[in-house]
Amino acid sequence: MTSKSRSKLRLRVIKTIEENHLLDGVKSVLLGFSGGVDSAVLFDVLLTLRKKYSFTLYAAHVNHMIRGKESDRDEDLVRLVCEKAGIRLFTKQVDIPRISKECGVSLETAARDERYAFFYECTFQNKIDVVATAHNACDNTETVLFNLVRGTYVKGLAGIPYKRGNIIRPLRDCERSQICEYALRYGVSYVTDSTNLVDDCSRNILRLNVIPQLRRINPSLDNVVLNESKLFSGLNEMLESSVPEVGADLSGSPDHIIAASVIEKCGFLNRELLERIVSAVKNKKDSSFTLPERKILRTHGGSFDICDPAVCERKKIEYTVLSEGKNILAEGVSATLSFVENFNEIYKYTTTFAFIFDNIKSVVSVRSRREGDRITVRGTTKSVKKEFINKKIPRELRDLIPVILIDGKIAAVPYIGADDAFYAKDPSKAGAFLGIELPRAK
Protein backbone atom coordinates (compact mmCIF):
# COMPACT_ATOMS: atom_id res chain seq x y z
CA MET A 1 0.00 0.00 0.00
CA THR A 2 1.36 3.41 -0.95
CA SER A 3 2.11 5.62 2.05
CA LYS A 4 -0.03 8.71 2.56
CA SER A 5 2.98 10.99 2.25
CA ARG A 6 3.42 9.90 -1.37
CA SER A 7 -0.23 9.70 -2.41
CA LYS A 8 -1.12 11.57 -5.61
CA LEU A 9 -3.92 13.50 -3.92
CA ARG A 10 -1.69 14.68 -1.07
CA LEU A 11 0.97 15.81 -3.52
CA ARG A 12 -1.70 17.64 -5.53
CA VAL A 13 -2.89 19.41 -2.39
CA ILE A 14 0.67 20.46 -1.55
CA LYS A 15 1.09 21.85 -5.07
CA THR A 16 -2.16 23.83 -4.75
CA ILE A 17 -1.16 25.18 -1.33
CA GLU A 18 2.27 26.31 -2.48
CA GLU A 19 1.33 27.70 -5.91
CA ASN A 20 -1.47 29.78 -4.38
CA HIS A 21 0.27 30.65 -1.07
CA LEU A 22 -2.66 29.30 0.92
CA LEU A 23 -0.70 28.73 4.13
CA ASP A 24 1.84 31.54 3.96
CA GLY A 25 2.18 32.95 7.48
CA VAL A 26 -0.67 30.73 8.73
CA LYS A 27 -0.36 29.30 12.24
CA SER A 28 -3.88 27.91 12.67
CA VAL A 29 -6.48 26.35 10.35
CA LEU A 30 -10.20 25.73 10.97
CA LEU A 31 -11.63 22.97 8.77
CA GLY A 32 -15.30 23.15 7.81
CA PHE A 33 -16.04 19.47 8.55
CA SER A 34 -19.45 18.25 7.32
CA GLY A 35 -18.55 14.57 7.55
CA GLY A 36 -18.92 13.99 3.80
CA VAL A 37 -16.17 12.34 1.79
CA ASP A 38 -14.61 15.64 0.65
CA SER A 39 -14.21 17.20 4.11
CA ALA A 40 -13.29 13.84 5.68
CA VAL A 41 -10.44 13.37 3.20
CA LEU A 42 -9.30 16.98 3.60
CA PHE A 43 -9.27 16.46 7.38
CA ASP A 44 -7.06 13.39 6.93
CA VAL A 45 -4.69 15.20 4.54
CA LEU A 46 -4.40 18.28 6.77
CA LEU A 47 -3.52 16.02 9.70
CA THR A 48 -0.52 14.78 7.71
CA LEU A 49 0.50 18.33 6.74
CA ARG A 50 0.47 19.93 10.20
CA LYS A 51 4.14 19.29 10.84
CA LYS A 52 5.25 20.28 7.32
CA TYR A 53 3.53 23.70 7.50
CA SER A 54 3.60 24.19 11.30
CA PHE A 55 -0.07 24.95 11.90
CA THR A 56 -2.61 23.95 14.55
CA LEU A 57 -5.70 22.24 13.15
CA TYR A 58 -9.25 22.83 14.42
CA ALA A 59 -12.60 21.67 13.01
CA ALA A 60 -16.11 23.13 12.94
CA HIS A 61 -19.39 21.33 12.22
CA VAL A 62 -22.88 22.78 11.79
CA ASN A 63 -25.84 20.44 12.28
CA HIS A 64 -28.44 21.93 9.92
CA MET A 65 -31.32 19.94 11.46
CA ILE A 66 -32.67 19.24 7.95
CA ARG A 67 -32.44 15.43 7.89
CA GLY A 68 -33.36 14.50 11.46
CA LYS A 69 -31.44 11.46 12.71
CA GLU A 70 -29.21 11.55 9.63
CA SER A 71 -27.99 15.04 10.60
CA ASP A 72 -27.28 13.79 14.12
CA ARG A 73 -25.41 10.83 12.64
CA ASP A 74 -23.17 13.23 10.68
CA GLU A 75 -22.38 15.21 13.83
CA ASP A 76 -21.64 12.04 15.80
CA LEU A 77 -19.16 10.83 13.17
CA VAL A 78 -17.36 14.18 13.01
CA ARG A 79 -17.14 14.29 16.79
CA LEU A 80 -15.76 10.73 16.92
CA VAL A 81 -13.14 11.37 14.20
CA CYS A 82 -11.95 14.58 15.88
CA GLU A 83 -11.76 12.96 19.33
CA LYS A 84 -9.73 10.07 17.90
CA ALA A 85 -7.29 12.51 16.25
CA GLY A 86 -7.13 14.84 19.26
CA ILE A 87 -8.47 17.80 17.29
CA ARG A 88 -10.59 20.47 18.99
CA LEU A 89 -14.07 20.58 17.44
CA PHE A 90 -16.58 23.45 17.48
CA THR A 91 -20.21 22.44 16.88
CA LYS A 92 -23.50 24.23 16.49
CA GLN A 93 -27.07 23.15 15.79
CA VAL A 94 -29.11 25.51 13.62
CA ASP A 95 -32.75 25.11 12.57
CA ILE A 96 -32.17 25.76 8.86
CA PRO A 97 -35.77 24.93 7.75
CA ARG A 98 -37.08 27.64 10.12
CA ILE A 99 -34.49 30.23 9.03
CA SER A 100 -35.13 29.39 5.36
CA LYS A 101 -38.84 30.01 5.82
CA GLU A 102 -38.42 33.20 7.87
CA CYS A 103 -35.89 34.76 5.46
CA GLY A 104 -37.58 33.58 2.27
CA VAL A 105 -34.43 31.87 0.94
CA SER A 106 -33.66 28.32 -0.14
CA LEU A 107 -32.47 25.70 2.33
CA GLU A 108 -29.12 25.64 0.51
CA THR A 109 -28.65 29.42 0.84
CA ALA A 110 -29.71 29.50 4.49
CA ALA A 111 -27.40 26.59 5.34
CA ARG A 112 -24.43 28.18 3.57
CA ASP A 113 -24.95 31.55 5.28
CA GLU A 114 -25.22 29.95 8.72
CA ARG A 115 -22.14 27.81 8.15
CA TYR A 116 -19.95 30.71 7.16
CA ALA A 117 -21.32 32.87 9.99
CA PHE A 118 -20.34 30.12 12.44
CA PHE A 119 -16.91 29.70 10.84
CA TYR A 120 -16.32 33.44 11.18
CA GLU A 121 -17.46 33.38 14.79
CA CYS A 122 -15.06 30.51 15.59
CA THR A 123 -12.07 32.18 13.94
CA PHE A 124 -12.87 35.55 15.53
CA GLN A 125 -13.27 34.25 19.06
CA ASN A 126 -10.35 31.80 18.94
CA LYS A 127 -7.92 33.88 16.84
CA ILE A 128 -7.71 31.24 14.08
CA ASP A 129 -6.03 32.44 10.89
CA VAL A 130 -7.92 30.71 8.06
CA VAL A 131 -10.90 28.49 7.30
CA ALA A 132 -10.34 25.52 4.97
CA THR A 133 -13.31 24.22 2.99
CA ALA A 134 -13.40 21.04 0.89
CA HIS A 135 -14.52 22.46 -2.46
CA ASN A 136 -12.97 20.42 -5.26
CA ALA A 137 -12.68 20.36 -9.05
CA CYS A 138 -16.16 18.84 -9.44
CA ASP A 139 -17.68 21.61 -7.31
CA ASN A 140 -15.85 24.09 -9.52
CA THR A 141 -17.41 22.53 -12.63
CA GLU A 142 -20.88 22.76 -11.07
CA THR A 143 -20.32 26.41 -10.11
CA VAL A 144 -19.06 27.48 -13.54
CA LEU A 145 -21.95 25.74 -15.35
CA PHE A 146 -24.48 27.03 -12.82
CA ASN A 147 -23.26 30.60 -13.34
CA LEU A 148 -23.26 30.13 -17.12
CA VAL A 149 -26.85 28.86 -17.15
CA ARG A 150 -28.08 31.77 -15.01
CA GLY A 151 -26.08 34.33 -16.98
CA THR A 152 -22.77 35.67 -15.76
CA TYR A 153 -19.76 37.82 -16.48
CA VAL A 154 -16.06 36.91 -16.46
CA LYS A 155 -16.02 36.54 -12.66
CA GLY A 156 -18.65 33.80 -12.78
CA LEU A 157 -16.63 31.82 -15.31
CA ALA A 158 -13.58 32.04 -13.04
CA GLY A 159 -15.28 29.50 -10.79
CA ILE A 160 -14.43 28.93 -7.14
CA PRO A 161 -11.34 30.89 -6.05
CA TYR A 162 -8.48 29.15 -4.26
CA LYS A 163 -8.60 31.86 -1.62
CA ARG A 164 -11.12 34.54 -0.68
CA GLY A 165 -10.50 36.58 2.43
CA ASN A 166 -9.58 34.05 5.11
CA ILE A 167 -11.22 31.11 3.25
CA ILE A 168 -8.85 28.65 1.56
CA ARG A 169 -9.67 25.64 -0.66
CA PRO A 170 -6.78 23.15 -0.76
CA LEU A 171 -8.81 20.50 -2.68
CA ARG A 172 -9.78 22.89 -5.48
CA ASP A 173 -7.66 21.01 -8.08
CA CYS A 174 -8.62 17.48 -6.96
CA GLU A 175 -11.31 15.50 -8.77
CA ARG A 176 -14.03 13.65 -6.85
CA SER A 177 -12.80 10.29 -8.16
CA GLN A 178 -9.35 10.98 -6.66
CA ILE A 179 -10.93 11.94 -3.33
CA CYS A 180 -13.06 8.78 -3.18
CA GLU A 181 -10.06 6.65 -4.15
CA TYR A 182 -8.04 8.19 -1.28
CA ALA A 183 -10.88 7.51 1.19
CA LEU A 184 -11.10 3.87 0.08
CA ARG A 185 -7.35 3.26 0.08
CA TYR A 186 -6.69 4.77 3.51
CA GLY A 187 -9.92 3.78 5.25
CA VAL A 188 -11.25 7.31 5.77
CA SER A 189 -14.67 7.24 7.45
CA TYR A 190 -17.37 9.49 6.01
CA VAL A 191 -21.13 9.84 5.60
CA THR A 192 -23.34 10.46 2.56
CA ASP A 193 -25.81 13.36 2.55
CA SER A 194 -29.06 11.99 1.11
CA THR A 195 -30.18 15.48 0.01
CA ASN A 196 -27.39 15.46 -2.59
CA LEU A 197 -29.02 12.46 -4.29
CA VAL A 198 -32.35 14.14 -5.11
CA ASP A 199 -32.74 16.57 -8.04
CA ASP A 200 -34.98 18.97 -6.13
CA CYS A 201 -32.84 22.10 -6.59
CA SER A 202 -31.00 23.73 -9.49
CA ARG A 203 -27.52 22.63 -8.44
CA ASN A 204 -28.61 19.02 -7.92
CA ILE A 205 -30.25 18.97 -11.36
CA LEU A 206 -26.91 19.99 -12.83
CA ARG A 207 -24.98 17.53 -10.65
CA LEU A 208 -27.22 14.50 -11.22
CA ASN A 209 -28.66 14.98 -14.70
CA VAL A 210 -26.65 17.44 -16.80
CA ILE A 211 -22.98 16.96 -15.85
CA PRO A 212 -23.04 13.13 -16.26
CA GLN A 213 -24.17 13.64 -19.88
CA LEU A 214 -21.40 16.19 -20.47
CA ARG A 215 -18.89 13.69 -19.10
CA ARG A 216 -20.07 11.22 -21.73
CA ILE A 217 -18.92 13.75 -24.32
CA ASN A 218 -15.68 14.54 -22.49
CA PRO A 219 -14.59 12.33 -19.56
CA SER A 220 -12.00 15.00 -18.67
CA LEU A 221 -14.70 17.65 -18.17
CA ASP A 222 -13.55 18.71 -14.69
CA ASN A 223 -9.96 19.18 -15.80
CA VAL A 224 -11.03 21.16 -18.87
CA VAL A 225 -13.30 23.46 -16.83
CA LEU A 226 -10.55 23.82 -14.22
CA ASN A 227 -8.06 25.05 -16.81
CA GLU A 228 -10.59 27.38 -18.45
CA SER A 229 -11.65 28.85 -15.10
CA LYS A 230 -8.00 29.62 -14.32
CA LEU A 231 -7.79 31.62 -17.56
CA PHE A 232 -10.97 33.52 -16.72
CA SER A 233 -9.70 34.12 -13.18
CA GLY A 234 -6.62 35.85 -14.58
CA LEU A 235 -8.77 37.88 -16.96
CA ASN A 236 -11.08 38.86 -14.09
CA GLU A 237 -8.13 40.04 -11.97
CA MET A 238 -6.97 42.22 -14.84
CA LEU A 239 -10.45 43.69 -15.30
CA GLU A 240 -10.97 44.28 -11.57
CA SER A 241 -7.70 46.17 -11.35
CA SER A 242 -9.01 48.63 -13.93
CA VAL A 243 -12.63 48.86 -12.72
CA PRO A 244 -13.46 51.24 -9.82
CA GLU A 245 -14.72 49.75 -6.56
CA VAL A 246 -18.42 49.80 -5.75
CA GLY A 247 -19.11 52.98 -3.77
CA ALA A 248 -16.53 55.06 -5.64
CA ASP A 249 -17.67 58.30 -7.29
CA LEU A 250 -17.90 57.40 -10.98
CA SER A 251 -19.76 60.48 -12.19
CA GLY A 252 -16.68 61.80 -13.99
CA SER A 253 -15.80 58.46 -15.61
CA PRO A 254 -16.48 57.56 -19.27
CA ASP A 255 -19.70 55.62 -19.93
CA HIS A 256 -17.87 52.38 -20.73
CA ILE A 257 -16.02 52.44 -17.38
CA ILE A 258 -19.28 52.94 -15.46
CA ALA A 259 -20.92 50.16 -17.49
CA ALA A 260 -17.98 47.82 -16.89
CA SER A 261 -18.12 48.50 -13.14
CA VAL A 262 -21.86 47.71 -13.04
CA ILE A 263 -21.49 44.55 -15.15
CA GLU A 264 -18.54 43.34 -13.09
CA LYS A 265 -20.71 43.43 -9.95
CA CYS A 266 -24.11 42.50 -11.40
CA GLY A 267 -23.42 40.36 -14.47
CA PHE A 268 -24.85 41.19 -17.87
CA LEU A 269 -28.00 43.36 -17.93
CA ASN A 270 -30.24 44.29 -20.82
CA ARG A 271 -29.02 47.32 -22.75
CA GLU A 272 -31.89 49.65 -21.77
CA LEU A 273 -31.49 48.99 -18.03
CA LEU A 274 -27.71 49.39 -18.22
CA GLU A 275 -28.02 52.72 -20.04
CA ARG A 276 -30.46 54.02 -17.41
CA ILE A 277 -28.08 53.04 -14.59
CA VAL A 278 -25.11 54.67 -16.33
CA SER A 279 -27.13 57.86 -16.84
CA ALA A 280 -28.18 57.96 -13.17
CA VAL A 281 -24.57 57.52 -12.02
CA LYS A 282 -23.20 60.20 -14.37
CA ASN A 283 -25.86 62.69 -13.29
CA LYS A 284 -25.54 61.84 -9.58
CA LYS A 285 -29.23 60.95 -9.33
CA ASP A 286 -30.69 59.10 -6.35
CA SER A 287 -32.44 56.19 -8.07
CA SER A 288 -33.09 52.49 -7.59
CA PHE A 289 -33.29 49.69 -10.16
CA THR A 290 -34.58 46.13 -9.82
CA LEU A 291 -32.01 43.53 -10.91
CA PRO A 292 -32.36 39.79 -11.51
CA GLU A 293 -32.61 37.56 -8.41
CA ARG A 294 -34.60 40.20 -6.48
CA LYS A 295 -31.61 42.46 -5.97
CA ILE A 296 -31.79 46.26 -5.92
CA LEU A 297 -29.14 48.58 -7.37
CA ARG A 298 -29.14 52.06 -5.84
CA THR A 299 -27.40 55.10 -7.31
CA HIS A 300 -26.48 58.08 -5.16
CA GLY A 301 -23.93 60.87 -5.49
CA GLY A 302 -22.26 59.36 -8.53
CA SER A 303 -21.82 55.91 -6.96
CA PHE A 304 -23.91 52.75 -6.71
CA ASP A 305 -24.44 49.81 -4.40
CA ILE A 306 -26.39 46.56 -4.50
CA CYS A 307 -28.56 45.01 -1.80
CA ASP A 308 -31.63 42.91 -1.05
CA PRO A 309 -34.96 44.81 -1.06
CA ALA A 310 -35.45 44.31 2.70
CA VAL A 311 -31.95 45.60 3.45
CA CYS A 312 -32.40 48.65 1.21
CA GLU A 313 -35.26 49.77 3.42
CA ARG A 314 -33.15 49.74 6.58
CA LYS A 315 -31.90 53.02 7.96
CA LYS A 316 -28.64 53.97 9.55
CA ILE A 317 -28.29 53.94 13.31
CA GLU A 318 -28.98 57.41 14.65
CA TYR A 319 -26.84 58.82 17.45
CA THR A 320 -28.24 57.22 20.61
CA VAL A 321 -27.23 57.62 24.25
CA LEU A 322 -27.51 54.18 25.85
CA SER A 323 -29.31 53.51 29.08
CA GLU A 324 -28.65 50.47 31.24
CA GLY A 325 -30.48 47.45 29.86
CA LYS A 326 -31.51 46.64 26.30
CA ASN A 327 -31.58 49.48 23.74
CA ILE A 328 -33.26 48.89 20.36
CA LEU A 329 -31.22 50.72 17.69
CA ALA A 330 -32.76 49.50 14.42
CA GLU A 331 -34.52 46.46 13.01
CA GLY A 332 -32.53 43.47 14.24
CA VAL A 333 -29.96 45.65 16.03
CA SER A 334 -29.80 46.16 19.79
CA ALA A 335 -27.27 47.08 22.47
CA THR A 336 -27.48 45.80 26.04
CA LEU A 337 -25.50 47.81 28.59
CA SER A 338 -24.83 46.51 32.08
CA PHE A 339 -22.21 46.98 34.77
CA VAL A 340 -20.51 43.73 35.74
CA GLU A 341 -17.70 42.40 37.89
CA ASN A 342 -17.18 38.86 36.57
CA PHE A 343 -15.03 39.51 33.52
CA ASN A 344 -14.10 35.85 33.11
CA GLU A 345 -17.53 35.08 31.67
CA ILE A 346 -17.63 37.86 29.09
CA TYR A 347 -16.02 36.05 26.18
CA LYS A 348 -18.25 33.00 26.44
CA TYR A 349 -21.00 34.84 24.57
CA THR A 350 -21.41 33.51 21.03
CA THR A 351 -24.32 35.49 19.56
CA THR A 352 -23.33 38.91 20.85
CA PHE A 353 -20.13 40.91 20.88
CA ALA A 354 -18.79 41.80 24.30
CA PHE A 355 -16.53 44.67 25.28
CA ILE A 356 -15.06 45.62 28.67
CA PHE A 357 -14.34 49.25 29.50
CA ASP A 358 -12.73 51.21 32.29
CA ASN A 359 -12.17 54.96 32.45
CA ILE A 360 -15.91 55.60 31.98
CA LYS A 361 -16.78 59.12 33.03
CA SER A 362 -20.26 59.78 31.74
CA VAL A 363 -22.00 58.91 28.46
CA VAL A 364 -22.00 55.64 26.50
CA SER A 365 -23.55 56.13 23.05
CA VAL A 366 -23.68 54.58 19.58
CA ARG A 367 -24.05 55.72 15.98
CA SER A 368 -23.40 54.45 12.45
CA ARG A 369 -19.87 54.67 11.05
CA ARG A 370 -18.68 57.96 9.58
CA GLU A 371 -16.02 58.87 7.07
CA GLY A 372 -12.66 59.07 8.81
CA ASP A 373 -13.57 56.90 11.83
CA ARG A 374 -10.45 55.29 13.32
CA ILE A 375 -9.78 53.00 16.26
CA THR A 376 -6.59 51.83 18.00
CA VAL A 377 -6.51 48.11 18.81
CA ARG A 378 -3.42 46.47 20.35
CA GLY A 379 -1.30 49.47 19.47
CA THR A 380 -2.37 49.65 15.83
CA THR A 381 -4.59 52.47 14.59
CA LYS A 382 -7.06 51.24 11.99
CA SER A 383 -9.57 52.79 9.61
CA VAL A 384 -13.06 51.46 10.40
CA LYS A 385 -14.00 51.60 6.72
CA LYS A 386 -10.93 49.62 5.62
CA GLU A 387 -11.36 47.04 8.39
CA PHE A 388 -14.97 46.37 7.33
CA ILE A 389 -13.73 45.82 3.78
CA ASN A 390 -10.83 43.61 4.89
CA LYS A 391 -13.12 41.49 7.06
CA LYS A 392 -15.59 41.05 4.18
CA ILE A 393 -18.48 42.60 6.13
CA PRO A 394 -21.38 42.78 3.63
CA ARG A 395 -21.71 46.33 2.36
CA GLU A 396 -25.43 46.44 3.14
CA LEU A 397 -24.74 45.74 6.83
CA ARG A 398 -21.87 48.15 7.46
CA ASP A 399 -24.12 51.10 8.41
CA LEU A 400 -26.01 48.82 10.82
CA ILE A 401 -22.93 47.93 12.84
CA PRO A 402 -22.92 50.40 15.75
CA VAL A 403 -19.80 52.41 16.48
CA ILE A 404 -19.61 52.59 20.29
CA LEU A 405 -18.64 55.90 21.88
CA ILE A 406 -17.63 56.73 25.44
CA ASP A 407 -17.64 60.42 26.25
CA GLY A 408 -17.83 61.08 22.50
CA LYS A 409 -14.72 59.06 21.63
CA ILE A 410 -14.73 55.80 19.68
CA ALA A 411 -14.39 53.02 22.26
CA ALA A 412 -15.21 49.88 20.27
CA VAL A 413 -16.54 48.54 16.98
CA PRO A 414 -17.99 45.02 16.57
CA TYR A 415 -15.80 42.73 14.42
CA ILE A 416 -12.80 45.05 15.01
CA GLY A 417 -12.42 45.26 18.79
CA ALA A 418 -12.16 47.66 21.71
CA ASP A 419 -9.95 50.74 21.64
CA ASP A 420 -6.84 50.52 23.81
CA ALA A 421 -7.88 53.64 25.73
CA PHE A 422 -11.08 51.98 27.02
CA TYR A 423 -10.34 48.27 27.14
CA ALA A 424 -10.26 47.02 30.75
CA LYS A 425 -6.76 45.60 30.98
CA ASP A 426 -7.10 44.75 34.68
CA PRO A 427 -10.08 42.39 35.21
CA SER A 428 -10.26 43.38 38.88
CA LYS A 429 -11.45 46.87 37.97
CA ALA A 430 -15.13 47.68 37.65
CA GLY A 431 -16.39 48.36 34.14
CA ALA A 432 -19.28 47.96 31.74
CA PHE A 433 -20.37 45.06 29.58
CA LEU A 434 -21.92 45.97 26.24
CA GLY A 435 -23.46 43.20 24.15
CA ILE A 436 -24.33 43.98 20.54
CA GLU A 437 -26.91 41.98 18.60
CA LEU A 438 -26.59 42.39 14.82
CA PRO A 439 -28.91 41.53 11.89
CA ARG A 440 -28.31 38.52 9.67
CA ALA A 441 -26.86 38.95 6.19
CA LYS A 442 -29.38 37.72 3.63
* 181 and 280 inside one domain: no
Is residue 48 one of the residues assigned to a domain?
Answer: yes
Strand, helix or coil for residue 87:
coil
Q: Say if residue 31 is exposed, middle or buried (CB neighbours under 10 Å; 0-12, 13-18, 19+).
A: buried
Q: Which amino acid is at 145?
A: L
What does the pLDDT read at residue 262? 82
Domain count along the chain: 3
- Based on the fold, state whether residues 188 and 269 are members of the same structural domain: no
What pLDDT does 247 receive? 60
Looking at the fold, whether 115 and 14 belong to one and the same domain comes out as yes
Name which of 24, 28, 172, 148 is nearest 87 in CA terms: 28
pLDDT, one tens digit per residue, over 140-152 is 999 998 888 877 7
Does residue 329 share a domain with residue 291?
A: no
Helical segments of 133-175, H only: 137-150, 154-157
176 and 142 both lie in a single domain: yes
In angstroms, the Cα distances linking 287 to 296, 308, 380 are 10, 15, 39
Q: Give 10-residue mean pLDDT values along the chain (442 residues).
A: 72 95 96 96 97 97 89 94 97 90 82 88 91 95 87 80 92 94 94 75 83 90 87 71 62 78 74 87 84 77 75 67 78 71 40 46 76 87 88 76 83 81 58 62 46
Q: Tell me, what CATH number does 114's domain have?
A: 3.40.50.620
- Assigned domain for 238 exists: no
- Are 301 and 358 in a shared domain? no
Is the CB of residue 183 less than 8 Å from the CB of residue 119? no
- Residue 442 in any domain: the answer is no
Q: Are residues 216 and 307 in the same domain?
A: no
At 199, the amino acid letter reads: D
CA–CA separation, 224 vs 115, rounded Å?
A: 30
Q: Is residue 358 domain-resident? A: yes
Last residue of a domain, one of 289, 312, 335: 312
pLDDT score of 173: 95
Q: Give the domain extent around 16.
A: 4-228
DSSP string, 354-375: EEEE----S-EEEE---TT-EE
Q: What is the pTM of this model?
A: 0.57
| Phi and psi torsions of 59, nearest 5° | -135, 150
Domain endpoint, select from 259, 283, 312: 312
